[in-house]
A and B are shown apart, each in its own frame.
Chain A
Amino acid sequence: MSDFPAAFRCEWRKTKRSLGLWLVVVGAFFTPAIVTIARLINHAQLPALYAMDSFWSALWKSSWESMAVFFLPMAAILMTGLIGQLEFKNNGWKQVHTLPLGRSTLFFAKLAVILVLMALFLLLFDVGIYLSAIVPWLILHAFAYPQAPLPLDAFSQQTMLYFVDCLPIVAAQYLLSLHFRNFLVPIGTGFMAWVAALAALSWKFGYLVPYAYTLFDYLQGSANARVAAPLIDVHLLAAAYALAFVVGGYVLFIARRQKG
Chain B
Amino acid sequence: MLSIETHGLSHSYPNSASGLKDIDLAVPQGSIYGFLGPNGAGKSTLLRVLLGLIRRQRGSVSLLGKPFDTQRIAILREVGSLIETPSLYEHLTARENLALLREIYRVPQTWISDTLHLVGLADSADKRVGQFSLGMKQRLGIAIAVLHRPALLILDEPTNGLDPNGTIEMRELLKKLHRERETTILVSSHVLAEMERLITHVGILAGGRLRFQGTLDALRGAEDARCCVTLRTDDDEHAIATIIEEQPNARRHAHGITLPALAHEQMARLNRRLVERGIGVYELGRRERDLEALFMEYIQ
Contacts and interface: CB of A to CB of B under 8 A. Distances in A.
Interface string A70-96: 000000000000000010011111111
Contact of A95 (B48, B52, B99, B144): B144
Given A6-B103, A10-B100, A257-B55, A98 B92 contact: no
Contact of B76 (A10, A18, A94, A100): A100
Contacts of A259: 52-54
A83 B296 CA distance: 45
A206 B50 CA distance: 49
Interface in B57-113: 73-77, 79, 81, 83-92, 96, 99-101, 103-106
A18 B91 contact: yes
Interface size class of A (residues with CB under 8 A): 20 to 34
B259 interface: no
Interface residues of B, number: 33
Interface in A1-39: 3, 6-7, 9-10, 13-14, 16-19
Given A16-B96, A18-B91, A91 B53 contact: no
Given A14-B89, A90-B90, A92-B87, A98 B51 contact: yes
A6 B89 CA distance: 18
A6 B141 CA distance: 21
Contact of A258 (B54, B85, B104): B54
A97 interface: yes
Interface in A243-260: 257-260
B54 A99 contact: no
A17 B103 contact: no
Contacts of A19: 91
Contacts of A91: 84-88
Nearest to A19: B91
Nearest to A86: B89
B74 A90 contact: no
A98 B84 CA distance: 14
A17 B91 contact: yes
A102 interface: yes
Pick the most buried of B52, B84, B104: most chain A CB atoms within 10 A of its CB. B104
A97 B74 CA distance: 13
A13 B79 contact: no
A101 interface: yes
Contact of B89 (A90, A97, A257): A90
Given A14-B92, A90-B90, A98 B104 contact: no
A102 B52 CA distance: 12
A3 to B, nearest CB: 7
Contacts of B81: 94, 98
Pick the most buried of A17, A89, A102: most chain B CB atoms within 10 A of its CB. A17
A257 B87 contact: no
Interface string A92-125: 1111111111100000000000000000000000
Nearest to A102: B73
Contacts of A10: 100-101, 103-104
Nearest to A260: B53
Given A98-B76, A101-B73, A259-B53, A13 B100 contact: yes
A246 B85 CA distance: 30
A41 B282 CA distance: 103
B103 A97 contact: no
Nearest to B54: A258
B104 A7 contact: yes
A189 to B, nearest CB: 24
A102 B74 CA distance: 10
Given A13-B96, A100-B76, 20 more contacts: A3-B104, A6-B103, A6-B104, A7-B104, A9-B103, A10-B103, A14-B92, A16-B91, A91-B87, A92-B87, A94-B48, A94-B51, A98-B51, A99-B76, A100-B73, A101-B104, A257-B55, A258-B54, A259-B54, A260-B48
Interface of A: 3, 6-7, 9-10, 13-14, 16-19, 86, 89-102, 257-260
24 contacts: A6-B106, A9-B100, A10-B104, A13-B100, A16-B91, A18-B91, A19-B91, A91-B86, A91-B87, A91-B88, A92-B89, A94-B51, A94-B53, A94-B81, A94-B83, A98-B51, A98-B76, A98-B79, A98-B81, A100-B74, A100-B104, A101-B104, A258-B53, A260-B48
